[in-house]
Chains A and B, each alone.
Chain A
Amino acid sequence: MNRREAAGAPDSPPAAVRAVGIVKSFAGVQALRGVDLELAEGELHGLVGENGAGKSTLAKIISGAYAADEGTVYARGTELASGNPHAHADAGIAMVYQEPKLVPELTAAENVFLGKTIRRGPFVARREMARRLRDVAATVGIDVDPEAKAADLSLAKQRMLDVIRGLDSGAQVLIMDEPSAALGPVERGSLYRTIERLRSAHVTILFISHDLDEVFRLCDRITVMREGSIVATRPTADWTKNALVEAMLGREFVVPKRHRTDAPVEASPILRVEGLTVPGALERVDFELRSGEVLGIAGLIGSGRSTLLRALAGAEPKASGLLLLEGREIAWPSTVRAALRHGIAFAPEDRRRYGLVLGLSGASNVALTNPAAVSKALLLQGRKLVEYAAGVMTPLGFDSRRLKVEAAFLSGGNQQKLVVGRTLGRQPKILLLDEPTAGIDIGAKADMFTIIDRLASDGLSVLFASSELEEVVEVSDRILVLGRGRSLGLLEGESCTVRTILELAFGVEREADAA
């Protein structure tokens, strides 16, 4: 390997990782425009920025997954071969991916030692692998059953397998790309504890996240990126949340406050649900949805948040219960079409998986629920399609020129707007939003809150489910808290706080642990 002293102050110890002048273009468009980043030995370094700012590209260049067009990565003063993942791994750099790359049918141990299976003669040394996994896991306080199937592990633990794998091969630098995305509060807690332990073990961590609270809580220093460049790197104490957001956006960000209507509570709710049961997921849940309100659905992972929305949307054929729509009892919708006919529209979670057909244009995705509006004699009308889609999407602040672009090439925020906008085309009375702000940048989140607020003001009744408790509190008029498939309580007015939600949610956790 080409050894060479890195530039820098002669008497300071070499940084754990030092990236100098990194430039990277994709098909002529610059994703990184000359980036310098230094990770001090043993520090927890936060990296924040809007989607498309270049965070993940930079991370992949540091981990060796991509080759830089220009610039160099040094590990402890040693230059690393660009775009050679093995050289970077040998230098002790490991990456924890946002989506754990696991073989679901293999055990935890088999996944961790994938490609370097420990053998005894021709046999797989199961016990030896399990022992080594436990040893490594214990040093950072992770509790994983080596024999458990990867698919049966929680998301947080699946992610931990990447960490263990990295540590086992002697990694001293971990790059974590949004490790907390899609984790519930409990799982996040265990992730944070692991990160603290890693810090005590002097592992250097580059921590990429959209969640500014956790960045503030965990990191020693924070670097902000915008449009392929570094805006600033400062110790955490020198940042404020507002300063961070301003640096990310390049402008001031005002958190939109949900304007709550003071209208008197109507005598009859638009929707009343009694004894909603979905075998294995929900048990006798009752609630009411009032006209023009946003009812938040809060709960930990596995609480049944998504199932509740899916049941109302007609996507859970086994759902049963009493459903009163505007005072009239109706049969529980067993298909999405049936729910749509009743004016119940659904924007599912995980837009890439459940929301969009990525190969179709944005306009086609919008029209999917309402082909009659864009066709004549069973043939699609190009003009009608674009007009219909633009009519639905422009009020949501969606640039209508992008409607003809394949959904796969839109940003997360724009994809999410398509999923929400599509439901509005058939003038629904009730809107079910599942995780509408997951993994979108802060500007798009603000747009989404404004949209929800306006829809509710226009008289639409919204069910809003999110794993971000702060958001649920911010957006909702009232909050239904779920836990293990049961209703734990309904919060109203002053009691709508993250604290009360957590108290309710954890009450059940303690109870179940004691049992």
Chain B
Amino acid sequence: MSEPSLDVAPEGTRRWDALRAVRPGAAALRSYGIELVRTYGIVVAFAILVAAVASQNSVFVSRDNLLNISSQWAPAGVMAAGLTFVLIAGGIDLSIAANFNLCAVLAAAIGQHNDPGIAFLAALGLGTGIGLVNALIVTITGIDSFIATLGVSFALASISQILTGNVPYYVDREDFLSLGAGSWHTIPYAGMVMFGTFILLGIVLARGVYGQKIYAIGGNREASRLAGLRVQTLYGSTFVLTGFCCGLGGILSASQLGTAQYNIDPGILFDVVTMVVLGGTSLLGGYGAMWRTAIGWAFIASIGNAFNILNVNSSYQNLVKGLVLIGALAIDVYVRRLARAGKT
């Protein structure tokens, strides 16, 4: 093999720098523009949101409030981090809310009379196990993940209801509650767990061999199979990972609230899916990033928090989220249509 040529784009250059390094073709220039809009569109929108809310009430950007947001929205953030993998691999997991709920119930039920370590491990195991069930259904039967996880979701919701009998489990053990309520130098543990999850899974996705393979199977499953990737195993593994994250979310929630019952947070499925999609990760697979999900998380969490701070009737909250989601996707589709029209 000959020596690699020296005029390779230096490490750390961004995608568009690499594009500029070659003769600037029409496609490259267009992709540069489109990449800009797709990348910074959500960032700009988020900045406007923050500025608008902060101008009405400066408490919004206070340290206490930001730390409060990070703790309060930690369960959704953790689950969004996992779901990002499923979406990039070309699937969807609609069982996350029911999984999260059942894990919270299990943690609370065991945590009432046992060591919290046992309760938390059991909940993580349950979440991961449910993820494995999802994985087996979609890979072995080949049922589309949308339907498969919807079915699992119904079953899990029913099990939660049967187990609790509509009566909440209360936990008042100090050690159980410390994960959700405790903090280190005023930084809440829950927020740290969530940011840690974002960072760790973000590295796995962007830099890991595993992440690269997830992009590959989401981008072109057949080509990946013919290149020798274990496509089914990889695809299934994203559901297992998401299941684990649901278990983690369930633990955080049970520990924060000190209670768990049937239907803890009816809006959480919508919130989590919106976080991932709003950030710009494609529902079609193959495109997305963890930092996108982090911004999507910040966006949704900020909207939720702003309603409290500005004392707006919370009935309007989902209306606003829905419109934001549709608006963001409409812009994305429009930009991509421009991209396609530009290809010769």
Q: Report A's interface with B, CB cutoff 8 A.
A: 25-29, 31, 52, 54, 56-57, 313, 315, 335-337, 340, 346, 348, 353-361, 364, 367-369, 371, 375, 378-380, 382-383, 386-387, 390-392, 394-395, 399-406, 409, 422
- A26:B30 contact, CB within 8 angstroms: yes
Tell me if B210 counts as interface (CB < 8 A to partner A): yes
Which of B15, B22, B25, B209 has a CB less than 8 Å from the CB of A375? B209
Q: Which of B220, B226, B228, B229 has the most chain A CB atoms inside 10 A of its CB?
A: B228
Tell me if B313 counts as interface (CB < 8 A to partner A): no
Interface string of B19-32 (1 = CB under 8 A from A): 10110111111110
Which residues of chain A have C-beta atoms less than 8 A from B230's C-beta?
337
Q: Which of A337, A356, A378, A404 has the most chain B CB atoms inside 10 A of its CB?
A: A404
Interface string of B172-208 (1 = CB under 8 A from A): 0000000000000000000000000000000100011
Cα distance A52–B23 in the bound complex, in angstroms: 14
Quick one: given A28-B29, A386-B8, are A401 and B22 in contact (CB under 8 Å)? yes
Can you list 26 A-B contacts with CB-CB less than 8 angstroms, sorted by A residue number? Answer: A26-B26, A28-B26, A29-B26, A54-B344, A56-B344, A336-B226, A337-B230, A353-B220, A353-B223, A356-B220, A357-B220, A361-B15, A369-B227, A371-B209, A375-B209, A379-B207, A382-B12, A383-B11, A391-B1, A394-B1, A401-B8, A401-B22, A402-B22, A403-B8, A404-B15, A404-B18
Given contacts A359-B215, A359-B219, A361-B18, 8 further A-B contacts (CB under 8 A): A28-B29, A29-B25, A336-B225, A357-B215, A368-B228, A392-B1, A400-B4, A409-B25
- A52:B222 contact, CB within 8 angstroms: no
- B227:A422 contact, CB within 8 angstroms: yes
- Which residue in chain B gives the minimum CB-CB distance to A389? B4
Quick one: given A29-B25, A405-B19, A406-B15, are A378 and B223 in contact (CB under 8 Å)? no
Which of B18, B208, B226 has a CB less than 8 Å from the CB of A346? B226
Interface string of B326-344 (1 = CB under 8 A from A): 0000000000000000101
Which residues of chain A have C-beta atoms less than 8 A from B12's C-beta?
382
Tell me if B216 counts as interface (CB < 8 A to partner A): yes
Interface size on B, residues (CB 8 A): 49
- A379:B203 contact, CB within 8 angstroms: yes
Min Cβ gap A257→B in Å is: 24
- A386:B4 contact, CB within 8 angstroms: yes
Quick one: given A356-B223, A401-B21, are A382 and B11 in contact (CB under 8 Å)? yes
Tell me if B141 counts as interface (CB < 8 A to partner A): no
Tell me if B2 counts as interface (CB < 8 A to partner A): yes
- A340:B5 contact, CB within 8 angstroms: no
Which of A387, A392, A404 has a CB less than 8 Å from the CB of B9? A404
- B31:A409 contact, CB within 8 angstroms: yes
- B228:A337 contact, CB within 8 angstroms: yes
Quick one: given A27-B26, A354-B223, A395-B2, are A400 and B7 in contact (CB under 8 Å)? yes
Quick one: given A336-B228, A348-B226, A400-B4, are A378 and B209 in contact (CB under 8 Å)? yes
Which of B11, B213, B219 has a CB less than 8 Å from the CB of A371? B213
Which residues of chain B have C-beta atoms less than 8 A from A355's C-beta?
223, 226
Which residues of chain B have C-beta atoms less than 8 A from A395's C-beta?
1-2
- B29:A394 contact, CB within 8 angstroms: no
Cα distance A386–B12 in the bound complex, in angstroms: 12
Which residues of chain B have C-beta atoms less than 8 A from A57's C-beta?
344
Which of A359, A369, A382, A403 has a CB less than 8 Å from the CB of B287? A359
Min Cβ gap B93→A in Å is: 21
Cα distance A29–B25 in the bound complex, in angstroms: 7
Min Cβ gap A243→B in Å is: 26
Interface string of B140-154 (1 = CB under 8 A from A): 000000000000000
Cα distance A29–B22 in the bound complex, in angstroms: 14
Q: Which of B15, B28, B219 has the most chain A CB atoms inside 10 A of its CB?
A: B219
Interface string of B141-172 (1 = CB under 8 A from A): 00000000000000000000000000000000
Min Cβ gap A335→B in Å is: 8
Cα distance A406–B14 in the bound complex, in angstroms: 12
Tell me if B139 counts as interface (CB < 8 A to partner A): no
Cα distance A358–B15 in the bound complex, in angstroms: 14
Tell me if B33 counts as interface (CB < 8 A to partner A): yes
Which residues of chain A have C-beta atoms less than 8 A from B5's C-beta?
390, 394, 399-401
Quick one: given A28-B26, A364-B212, are A406 and B31 in contact (CB under 8 Å)? yes
Cα distance A17–B18 in the bound complex, in angstroms: 42
- A404:B13 contact, CB within 8 angstroms: yes
- A29:B24 contact, CB within 8 angstroms: yes
Min Cβ gap B3→A in Å is: 8
Interface string of B21-50 (1 = CB under 8 A from A): 110111111110100000000000000000
4 tightest Cβ-Cβ pairs between the two chains A and B:
A26-B26, A390-B4, A404-B18, A357-B219
Which of B4, B11, B31, B216 has a CB less than 8 Å from the CB of A368? B216
Cα distance A104–B207 in the bound complex, in angstroms: 40
Cα distance A399–B220 in the bound complex, in angstroms: 24
Cα distance A383–B9 in the bound complex, in angstroms: 10
Cα distance A356–B219 in the bound complex, in angstroms: 9
Cα distance A485–B271 in the bound complex, in angstroms: 54
- B8:A400 contact, CB within 8 angstroms: yes
Which of A348, A364, A386 has a CB less than 8 Å from the CB of B223? A348
Which of A361, A364, A387, A406 has a CB less than 8 Å from the CB of B4? A387
Which residues of chain B have C-beta atoms less than 8 A from A29's C-beta?
24-26, 29
- A360:B26 contact, CB within 8 angstroms: no
Cα distance A4–B245 in the bound complex, in angstroms: 69
Cα distance A128–B85 in the bound complex, in angstroms: 52
Interface string of B219-249 (1 = CB under 8 A from A): 1101111111110000000000000000000
- A378:B208 contact, CB within 8 angstroms: yes
Which of A27, A313, A359 has a CB less than 8 Å from the CB of B286? A359
Which residues of chain A have C-beta atoms less than 8 A from B31's C-beta?
406, 409
- B228:A390 contact, CB within 8 angstroms: no
- Which residue in chain B gives the minimum CB-CB distance to A314? B228
Which residues of chain B have C-beta atoms less than 8 A from A26's C-beta?
26-27, 30, 342, 344
Which residues of chain B have C-beta atoms less than 8 A from A359's C-beta?
215, 219, 286-287
Which residues of chain B have C-beta atoms less than 8 A from A313's C-beta?
226
Which of A375, A394, A409 has a CB less than 8 Å from the CB of B2? A394
Cα distance A31–B230 in the bound complex, in angstroms: 41
Cα distance A400–B21 in the bound complex, in angstroms: 11
Q: Which of A346, A375, A409 has the most chain B CB atoms inside 10 A of its CB?
A: A409
Which residues of chain B have C-beta atoms less than 8 A from A391's C-beta?
1-2, 4
- Which residue in chain A gives the minimum CB-CB distance to B221? A357
- A27:B209 contact, CB within 8 angstroms: no
- Which residue in chain A gives the minimum CB-CB distance to B211? A380
Which residues of chain B have C-beta atoms less than 8 A from A387's C-beta?
4
- Which residue in chain B gives the minimum CB-CB distance to A423? B227
- Which residue in chain A gives the minimum CB-CB distance to B217? A357
Which residues of chain B have C-beta atoms less than 8 A from A406's C-beta?
15, 31
Quick one: given A29-B24, A394-B4, are A354 and B209 in contact (CB under 8 Å)? no
Which residues of chain B have C-beta atoms less than 8 A from A399's C-beta?
5, 22
Cα distance A403–B10 in the bound complex, in angstroms: 12
- B219:A360 contact, CB within 8 angstroms: yes
Min Cβ gap A469→B in Å is: 25
- B21:A357 contact, CB within 8 angstroms: no
Which of A346, A369, A380 has a CB less than 8 Å from the CB of B207? A380
Cα distance A387–B5 in the bound complex, in angstroms: 9
Min Cβ gap B133→A in Å is: 25
Min Cβ gap B226→A in Å is: 5
Cα distance A379–B1 in the bound complex, in angstroms: 25
- B212:A336 contact, CB within 8 angstroms: no
Min Cβ gap A311→B in Å is: 13
Which residues of chain A have C-beta atoms less than 8 A from B19's C-beta?
405, 409
Cα distance A512–B292 in the bound complex, in angstroms: 59
